[in-house]
Amino acid sequence: MNVPTRAGRHPVVVIAHGYGDPARYTSGSMLEREQAALAANGFVAFQIDYRSYARSTRESPTPVARPLGYPMDLVDAVLALRRAHLPFADTARIGLFGRSMGGGVALDALVARPHLARAAVLYSPVSSRAADNYRRWVAGDPALRARVVHAFGTPASRPAFWRQASARSYLDRVAVPVQIDHGTADPVCPVRWSEATARALRAAGKDVTLHEYPGEDHRFDRSWALFMHRAVTFLRRELA
């Protein structure tokens, strides 16, 4: 947790990080520059550790990739923060910030608990359609594919299940403004995924803004300062 140096109670941004090897991840790693920038701009920046990450409770090594428990961990972190009554945190003003896999975690949490936060920034997020993520990360890995297919089938063999496992199917539940930021040269999460998510949110009548960054990779470089300016401006407005 990064806390602003000035006194007072500050709005909170709860951060869901992207995928990293749980054996190497340490608390607060992966999004250090974003946490520091948010705190410097007056937000309490609270990055959660998912189950099996850092000092969190270890689960069996056999669950499939991106366990369904990650969105639950994000919801529980917000609830725990509210119950902690920290003197510097204004928990009536909470936003979410999710990068890559964490963008999917944040969106899953918002469709499950529409009033969990007051706004969300999705940074280079995975697809809101579970079948896309299956094809990108599961289908090409024989061992992982075998575990996933055993547990859930494939998008072809059990299409109804994979639709039900997709945030895309529940975007009508989203109750807060969403900003999506994605680079056009992202080789990990194609920008077309965010374009499709934004279209689906608009079709559901939701408040969504998509910013595309020409030539930018999965982790922003040249456009990072512009991205953070837009994220801070958005969060200040929505958490005012």
Instruction: Please give the residue range of the domain that contains residue 71.
Output: 10-129+174-238
Task: Give yes or no: residues 161 and 227 share one domain.
Answer: no
Flag whether 59 is in a domain.
Answer: yes
Contacts of 217-223 with C-beta under 8 Å, sequence gap 24+, read 217/183, 217/185, 217/186, 217/187, 218/100, 218/124, 218/183, 218/186, 218/187, 218/188, 218/189, 219/124, 220/124, 220/181, 220/183, 223/183
Q: How many domains does the chain contain in total?
A: 2
> The pTM is what?
0.94
Q: Which residues of the chain have pLDDT under 50?
A: none
Q: What is the CATH number of the domain that holds 68?
A: 3.40.50.1820
Flag whether 4 is in a domain.
Answer: no
Task: Give yes or no: residues 141 and 53 share one domain.
Answer: no
Task: Give yes or no: residues 101 and 25 share one domain.
Answer: yes
Task: Give yes or no: residues 134 and 234 share one domain.
Answer: no
Task: Give yes or no: residues 221 and 153 share one domain.
Answer: no
- The model's pLDDT over 87-113, given as tens digits with 9 standing for 90+, comes to 999 999 999 999 999 999 999 999 999
Task: Give yes or no: residues 138 and 117 share one domain.
Answer: no
22/58 Cα distance (integer angstroms): 10
Task: Give yes or no: residues 183 and 66 share one domain.
Answer: yes
**What pLDDT does residue 240 have?**
95
Task: Give yes or no: residues 18 and 116 share one domain.
Answer: yes
| Last residue within a domain, chosen from 165, 191, 225 | 165
Task: Give yes or no: residues 109 and 152 share one domain.
Answer: no
108/103 Cα distance (integer angstroms): 9
Which residues have CB under 8 Å from 105's CB, separation 6+?
16, 50, 70, 71, 74, 98
Place of tokens 């089938």: 153
Question: Both tokens of residue 80?
Answer: 């725990």
Task: Give yes or no: residues 98 and 81 share one domain.
Answer: yes
